[in-house]
């Protein structure tokens, strides 16, 4: 049984505390199908999230199977399923692939046969077996809701929470979904709670819970709804609620609630007697047990308490897959999504081809010769001055070209890094939060992202280095230069991944990442030297400077001197550049880890 005793969820608004869920008390037995209804903004979804544990209750207690969830018990991921309003599947995947990924992430199967059997059973239960090979993108609204249910059923949850799963559907699809939820509640004693704004198909529910401004106004059989509110039709309930304050409705309900609970119990016994409701043996507590029965009253002795309390150990949960299993599933799914997104593949190929070509357009200027000073002493002062002017002209021409080309490569790779990861987490945040609620390890999720992005970083950086070197030789230690290009791409990819993990939307993450790349060039000092009092604060954070400086330090002596002759910015040692770029990557991954762990459920 699920039991709520004076549960509240409170927020602060304009300096005052407001109860979005206001002292809700109710009991929901196993095998029960309940609708949570009420006007918009009455607290339906907030109550559902409070039951799920997404909103920690501010007061009161929740009990599940004799366990006090408010004292650290909490549901295990396999015990509970939560179906939100939004789609929790990736558009490029098929129905079968989506359910398979959900199963691999939530249940540890002993072998492939057990995995296939579980997937087939869930598809059949959700009515999706005939369209299992269909891509999610082309599914209808009703089919997507069924898929969301299927992805929760893979772990055989004992309590299924559904948030507006019928909203936006046509009447036929809405009835089909409600009928499906009704049938699911009849299996294995599963509790199904469905938040809905619609008052259609109420006859399919075992009970209706009506909320008004966070308060419980009614909880009873569907056939008693109109009688309680003294209306002729269920559609008149919401206008009727507006005629009194929420406190008055709540006060009225406290006088009648017990009698309506007994009505629900009688209806339940009829269903059990008729064979319409099948419950697992020895799993249902006595109906008359209350939350107080589990908590000793003041003055009670231990013996009396033990005689009346019904205590049971937590049911054995399905084994969760390990880190490496979840990591492999996520990485495989990410590559599958990548290759099926033609727009993304085309963009990556275009960047991979066009950016190095842009750099090579300027490579000729960097390949010029630099004349040396004559070893013989010039007796002609005019000739000596002319020689110095020629050498300085060569240094200025080649030095500025080499410095510019290196910075151009660095900035382009920083832009690639931003494109790689700015939307990687923020763009799928709702799905990720849902999977995390179902038992996904943040460590496995972040590791899969790092593995996927590392492949892009290596391909982009090495291709840029080798392509540009093939059409215009790098005048220094090539592999050192290639290493710095790899590190700046990795640093910006990691930094933008951290930004993506901290932002709520992909648009916010993309915008901030683009601004970050835009500031790399002016703050690097490669074009114009910054004032020393500013440079000391900005330089440690500019990845482009450290990659550019390290690459310049790897140039041949003559070319290196030419670059130094045309820049005002001081250069750093290669070891300092390496350590700093590695520090950028490390710190960014730590921030990404913190962002991935932090709950950001809307």
pLDDT at position 76 is 87
Residue 49 lies in a domain: yes
Task: State mean pLDDT over 457-473.
Answer: 91
Distance separating alpha carbons of residues 192 and 335, to the nearest angstrom: 35
E-strand spans in 186-299? 191-195, 207-212, 215-220
Residue 351 lies in a domain: yes
- The two three-digit tokens of residue 128, written as one number: 């999706």
Residue 425 lies in a domain: yes
Same domain for 223 and 363? Answer: no
Dmax (CA) of the chain: 120
- Boundary of a domain, candidates 280, 303, 334: 280
Indicate the pTM of the whole model.
Answer: 0.87
pLDDT at position 183 is 92
Q: Name the band, by pLDDT with cuts 50, 70 and 90, for residue 394.
A: low
**Tens digits of residue pLDDT in 124-160:** 999 999 999 999 999 998 999 999 999 999 999 999 9
- Boundary of a domain, candidates 257, 280, 303: 280
| Residue whose structure tokens are 């599914």 | 139
Query: What CA dihedral angle connects 219, 223, 228 and 233, to 10 degrees?
Result: 120
Same domain for 347 and 276? Answer: no
Q: Name the band, by pLDDT with cuts 50, 70 and 90, for residue 196.
A: very high
Same domain for 363 and 225? Answer: no
Residue 83 lies in a domain: yes
Same domain for 492 and 591? Answer: yes
pLDDT at position 188 is 81
**Tens digits of residue pLDDT in 326-383:** 999 999 999 999 999 999 999 999 999 999 999 888 877 766 665 555 555 556 676 5
**Tens digits of residue pLDDT in 214-232:** 999 999 999 999 999 999 9
Same domain for 436 and 526? Answer: yes
Instruction: Report whether pLDDT(404) > 60.
Output: yes
Give me the chain's average pLDDT, please. Answer: 86
User: What is the phi/psi pair of residue 91, to 5°?
Assistant: -55, -40
DSSP 403: H
Report the share of the chain in percent with pLDDT over 70: 88
**Can you give the residue range of the structural domain that contains 539?**
343-374+404-597
Instruction: Report whether pLDDT(295) > 60.
Output: no
Instruction: Report whether pLDDT(567) > 90.
Output: no
**Tens digits of residue pLDDT in 449-461:** 999 999 999 999 9
**Tens digits of residue pLDDT in 503-523:** 989 999 999 999 999 888 888
Same domain for 276 and 353? Answer: no
Check residues 580 and 475 and name the one with the higher pLDDT: 580
Same domain for 364 and 219? Answer: no
CATH number for the domain that contains residue 257: 3.40.50.300
Hey, is 108 helix, strand or coil?
A: coil
Residue 320 lies in a domain: no
Residue 111 lies in a domain: yes
Same domain for 239 and 366? Answer: no
Residue 390 lies in a domain: no
Same domain for 263 and 363? Answer: no
| Residue whose structure tokens are 């993990």 | 501
Same domain for 82 and 187? Answer: yes
Q: For the chain, how many structural domains are there in total?
A: 2
pLDDT at position 386 is 60
Check residues 75 and 73 and name the one with the higher pLDDT: 75
Same domain for 582 and 449? Answer: yes
- Boundary of a domain, candidates 232, 256, 280: 280
Same domain for 249 and 360? Answer: no
Residue 398 lies in a domain: no
């Amino acid at each position: 049984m699920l039991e709520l005793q004076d549960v509240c969820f409170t927020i602060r608004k304009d300096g005052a505390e407001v109860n979005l869920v206001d002292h809700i008390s109710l009991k929901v037995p196993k095998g029960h199908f309940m609708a949570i209804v009420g006007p918009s903004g009455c607290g339906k979804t907030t109550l559902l999230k409070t039951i799920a544990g997404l909103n920690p209750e501010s007061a009161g207690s929740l009990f599940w199977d004799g366990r006090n969830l408010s004292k650290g018990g909490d549901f295990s991921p396999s015990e509970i399923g939560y179906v939100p309003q939004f789609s929790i599947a990736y558009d490029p995947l098929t129905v079968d692939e989506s359910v398979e990924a959900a199963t691999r992430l939530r249940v540890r199967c002993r072998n492939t046969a057990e995995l296939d059997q579980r997937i087939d059973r869930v598809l059949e239960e959700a009515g999706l077996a005939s369209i299992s090979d269909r891509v999610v993108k082309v599914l209808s609204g009703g089919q997507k809701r069924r898929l969301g249910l299927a992805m929760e059923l893979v772990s055989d949850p004992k309590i299924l929470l559904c948030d507006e799963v019928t909203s936006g559907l046509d009447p036929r699809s809405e009835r089909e979904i409600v009928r499906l939820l009704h049938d699911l509640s009849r299996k294995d004693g599963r509790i199904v709670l469905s938040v809905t704004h619609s008052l259609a198909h109420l006859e399919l529910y075992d009970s209706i819970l009506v909320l008004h401004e966070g308060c419980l106004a009614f909880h009873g059989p569907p056939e008693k709804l109109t009688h309680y509110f003294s209306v002729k039709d269920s559609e008149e309930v919401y206008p009727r609620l507006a005629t009194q304050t929420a406190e008055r409705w709540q006060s009225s309900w406290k006088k009648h609630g017990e009698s309506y609970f007994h009505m629900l119990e009688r209806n339940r016994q009829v269903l059990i007697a008729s064979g319409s409701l099948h419950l697992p043996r020895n799993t249902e507590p006595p109906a008359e047990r209350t939350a107080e029965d589990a908590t000793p009253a003041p003055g009670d002795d231990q013996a009396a308490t033990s005689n009346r309390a019904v205590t049971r150990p937590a049911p054995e949960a399905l084994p969760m897959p390990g880190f490496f299993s979840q990591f492999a599933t996520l990485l495989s799914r990410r590559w599958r999504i990548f290759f099926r997104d033609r727009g993304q593949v085309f963009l990556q190929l275009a960047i991979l081809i066009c950016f190095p070509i842009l750099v090579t357009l300027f490579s000729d200027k960097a390949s010029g010769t630099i004349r040396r000073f004559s070893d013989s002493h010039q007796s002609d002062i005019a000739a000596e001055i002319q020689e110095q002017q020629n050498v300085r002209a060569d240094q200025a021409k080649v030095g500025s070209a080499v410095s510019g080309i290196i910075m151009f490569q660095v900035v382009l790779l920083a832009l690639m890094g931003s494109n790689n990861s700015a939307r990687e987490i923020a763009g799928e945040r709702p799905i990720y939060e849902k999977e995390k609620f179902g038992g996904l390890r943040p460590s496995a999720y972040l590791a899969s992202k790092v593995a996927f992005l590392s492949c892009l970083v290596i391909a982009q950086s090495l291709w840029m280095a080798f392509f540009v070197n093939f059409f215009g030789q790098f005048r220094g230690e090539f592999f050192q230069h290639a290493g710095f290009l790899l590190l700046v791409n990795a640093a910006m990819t990691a930094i933008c991944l951290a930004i993506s993990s901290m932002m709520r939307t992909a648009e916010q993450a993309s915008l901030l990442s683009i601004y970050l790349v835009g500031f790399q060039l002016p703050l690097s000092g490669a074009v114009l030297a910054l004032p020393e009092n500013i440079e000391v604060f900005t330089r440690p954070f500019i990845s482009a400077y450290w990659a550019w400086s390290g690459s310049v330090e790897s140039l041949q002596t003559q070319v290196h001197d030419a670059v130094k002759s045309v820049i005002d910015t001081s250069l750093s040692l290669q070891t300092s550049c390496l350590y700093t770029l590695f520090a950028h990557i490390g710190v960014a991954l730590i921030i990404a880890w913190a962002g991935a762990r932090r709950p950001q459920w809307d």
